[in-house]
Chains A and B, each alone.
Chain A
């Protein structure tokens, strides 16, 4: 059991380090037929570039909701979500879409590769959102598949790839436009522990070697332990927010 140490966490009060995310009193309320559901409430969170973070918590505790708010897929009902210089609660769908294309990468539990497209084409699907020539796209696809170690499988359809390979293609796709953050919702949920470890080490390498911020929602203690900072959630609340001494319990 390795326990990550405190030293890797950037000092909270150091203004010289540019915050990547700054969330203040973020609440997301879903209105349903049966009433209101507070998926997350009063979340305060700061995230710095290059951090490797895990979010844990029981089912329904609001992990996915928080990740979607961070990933510009969903908007907070109240509170502020600052990403770099941008206030995500104030921009429209078009700008959110552009932000996702440029700065954010997603990895999902069930990989979500387009089943009709080959590994290379799946990566290319993310590249088409930013103007690139066909040649540039090809070179970039090759480079990305190289990073995740799947150059040999570029023309294979997802169905012919193992779970771990598919997830690595998904990571390559998430990396396509050089994002600042990768948001992974239970990326190892459908993988055996051996493969899970492989996938998490890929993500970890991105954080350490490329300075990409990686946020992983997970149920697996094993995965969470590989991260530098563990956030726990319960009933929509963050148990260990910024500077909370219990954050690493």
Chain B
């Protein structure tokens, strides 16, 4: 192409101008790449902080935190909250599921939920006596819910029906205690209730014939010594009396009418077993976190398929597959294909995942139904992860969920982001304001320089342009030639800018300033992260420290080059406009 030859030679001849223009654009582009990199780094850092939601394709997280559940109305007892120590019932009196409409289904669910919640902590009892005879070796995994309470899986389906929800999936997070040792001799267990109480109802007295028949019968069976009850002296004669007879006699000899009034009642079993410290034998305890995910939901969930680093995703067809956290796998020398034996079932590690979450990572991810079975929580989940149609509908969906599930903690990415403070938030503000402004200023300056230099170049080339016009070049062809040149400069500037930007990003990465982020008192978030649950920071400020990186993506580079090309285009347009306005006669006359 002639115009490219011409362009290349032109750029080479006016090397100073070419370099100056390109460097101006490069500075702008480099800065833009750097700023985008830092801002994406901050975004990633924030995503890391908001990991439970952001990095798992989720907009809304629904949990149920201890102390926040409300009373089930379905419970017929009028007993106040104090009588049920397992949970405090809120004043609203609504179940976990809202009442009408659809009250039937909700009430049934609430009733089941109540029972399940009552047993929630009972499940965690380490009743070692069940593992074998004292002295026997055992290995067992116990699953605890702790304060992250479970709720019926029906909630998932109900949330799915809310308009604006595109994806929803349930998750079950459990703290597992892997214990090995010898079954101890002493196991404490306190059981109340369960006693059989026999209530005797007094029927109408026996008639004379009945009495005679009874006496005869009793006598025949040989156990009876007293046939006539002695009425209490001075008292109103009581109807009926007490019969003393040997076992079996009553059944045989009492008239049928009397037999029907004998009834047995069993008081409700209330096994108030306490979490006791395992007796100090040789038992060793290793804890890990287990999460149940729906294999059919690879994009939304406690872990997502994008976080898979090796192996394959869970298959719905195989309930005995697990995904292992890379960190956990490394510590325990697990590889894809390794097996883990848990309570008699062998699970194969299907893949390794690298969830970037800070507070809510699990070590092993099970198919939801498998973990539900392992943990004795069939049909129950501890989290519901919801993906909304778009960011605009998140708030409305969250509100609907709150209405639908009065006992739930509903947290959105935004509500978390709003409450994240600390240097990360500050840096983000600075990056978005100052960085953006700086980028705009430098770009404008670079564009202005490019335009001015192009204008001056056009002014210097008036005679050349006049000559081209004289030999038959149209205005359009002249403009195109100038554009070719300035876009060429733009590309050079873009290339140089990429180098500058990468250098800047590399510098940020090498320097790696660390940022802190606190999500102060985010309801249900800080306390729902397992690190917060089982140890250190209980529901208080949840602070994470993240090293800032400035990742440079292909799209960032493309944006940078695009800016440089836009700069070239602008300069070329201005220069071309100037050139097109030149009258060839004047252009040639000026310099003879």
Contacts and interface: CB of A to CB of B under 8 A. Distances in A.
Contact of A125 (B466, B468, B474, B584): B468
B464 interface: yes
Contact of B588 (A101, A108, A176): A108
A109 interface: yes
B438 to A, nearest CB: 37
A87 interface: no
B265 interface: no
Contact of B471 (A64, A129, A137): A129
Given A73-B469, A106-B467, 20 more contacts: A73-B585, A94-B474, A97-B472, A97-B473, A98-B474, A100-B469, A100-B471, A102-B472, A104-B472, A112-B588, A114-B6, A114-B464, A115-B464, A117-B5, A125-B468, A128-B477, A129-B473, A129-B477, A130-B472, A176-B471
B589 interface: yes
B428 interface: no
B592 A173 contact: no
Q: Which 3 A-B pairs have the closest CB atoms?
A: A101-B472, A74-B585, A129-B472
Interface string A114-140: 111100010011101110000001000
A181 B12 CA distance: 35
23 contacts: A64-B589, A68-B588, A73-B470, A94-B474, A98-B472, A100-B469, A100-B470, A100-B471, A101-B473, A108-B592, A112-B463, A112-B464, A112-B466, A112-B588, A114-B6, A114-B467, A116-B6, A117-B5, A117-B9, A125-B2, A125-B471, A125-B473, A129-B474
A93 interface: yes
Interface in A177-226: 177
Given A112-B463, A114-B467, A116-B9, A97 B585 contact: no
Interface residues of A, number: 35
A93 B585 CA distance: 12
A116 B13 contact: yes
A115 B585 contact: no
Most interface-central of B13, B583, B592 (chain A CB within 10 A): B592
A116 B8 CA distance: 9
A38 B6 CA distance: 39
Given A109-B592, A110-B592, A117-B6, A68 B585 contact: yes
Contacts of B464: 112, 114-115
Given A73-B584, A74-B585, A124-B2, A116 B471 contact: no
Interface string B452-474: 00000000000110111111111
A108 B2 contact: no
A93 to B, nearest CB: 7
A97 B2 contact: no
Interface string B559-592: 0000000000000000000000001110011011
Count chain A CB atoms within 10 A of each CB in B3, B10, B588 and give the residue with the most: B588
Interface string A26-37: 000000000000
A112 B467 contact: yes
B450 to A, nearest CB: 20
Interface of B: 2-3, 5-6, 9-10, 12-13, 463-464, 466-475, 477, 583-585, 588-589, 591-592
A116 B463 CA distance: 14
Nearest to A137: B2
A71 interface: yes
A97 B474 contact: yes
A116 B10 contact: yes
A125 B470 contact: no
A177 B466 CA distance: 18
A43 to B, nearest CB: 16
A40 to B, nearest CB: 13
Contacts of A115: 13, 464
A110 B588 CA distance: 10
Nearest to B14: A116
A235 to B, nearest CB: 18
B467 A108 contact: yes
Contacts of B477: 128-129
A16 B475 CA distance: 38
B431 to A, nearest CB: 44
Given A108-B467, A112-B463, A125 B6 contact: yes
A176 B468 CA distance: 13
Nearest to B2: A128
Contacts of A106: 467, 470-471
Contacts of A114: 6, 464, 467-468
A34 to B, nearest CB: 17
A94, A97, A115, A173 — most chain B CB neighbours (10 Å): A97
Contact of B475 (A93, A128, A174, A176): A93
A100 B592 contact: no
A108 B584 CA distance: 13
B529 to A, nearest CB: 66
A115 B9 CA distance: 9
Contacts of B13: 115-116
The residue in A71, A105, A112, A124 that gathers the most chain B C-beta atoms within 10 A of its C-beta is A112
Contacts of A100: 469-472
Contacts of A97: 469, 472-475
B212 to A, nearest CB: 135
A93 B582 CA distance: 12
A125 to B, nearest CB: 7
A117 B461 CA distance: 14
Contact of A121 (B5, B467, B472, B583): B5
A93 B475 CA distance: 9
Nearest to A74: B585
